[in-house]
A and B are shown apart, each in its own frame.
Chain A
């Protein structure tokens, strides 16, 4: 079975500062990893995903994440945040066998301060 831990429930950061949102996973099989973003009063949108290949994955809005198998992590980063990045971010994991759906973390609320 897979599980996901998002280590921070809230992250405040000043505008134009860098940010890292942390995600650790647990899985007994090879994994697929995802980051989703949820803007206020909206559904979730895919930011980026890791399926295989390069461990550095680039997504929309200048975000990127790095898959680290030895540390079972998939942290999300952005070098300079904007007010518009204020949202909730969810990490999700899926195994590459069977039909088990994705497992989502509890989310990290990113607040960008002007």
Chain B
């Protein structure tokens, strides 16, 4: 039981490049989330998927897209990376939508030059 896994762990991009961050969970959870963490800003929700087949914007969705590929997988895509997207990205999942315990992945550290 690996919980929530994220790939890659580290990534360096040049401005304008694109990439997809992958997230998978093996807990049969319905809901999945993408956050970014920046110093002094805490965790900010980018997008979430309350259940398979649905996605919703969070607090800071601009510049990102997501895909809930199936119940296990939820990917985050940066179409044209910008230096402001330099951050640590966390994926999380929860059994139910709403105020349920979230389980976090180890994070992806992204640097955009």
Contacts and interface: CB of A to CB of B under 8 A. Distances in A.
A106 B40 contact: yes
Nearest to B59: A103
B78 to A, nearest CB: 20
Interface residues of A, number: 27
Contact of B48 (A9, A34, A96, A101): A101
B106 A32 contact: no
Contacts of A94: 98-100
18 contacts: A36-B104, A41-B107, A42-B106, A43-B4, A43-B90, A43-B92, A43-B106, A44-B90, A44-B92, A90-B43, A93-B99, A95-B98, A97-B98, A99-B31, A99-B97, A99-B98, A101-B97, A102-B102
A101 B42 contact: no
A83 interface: no
B102 to A, nearest CB: 6
Contacts of A36: 104
A64 B7 CA distance: 34
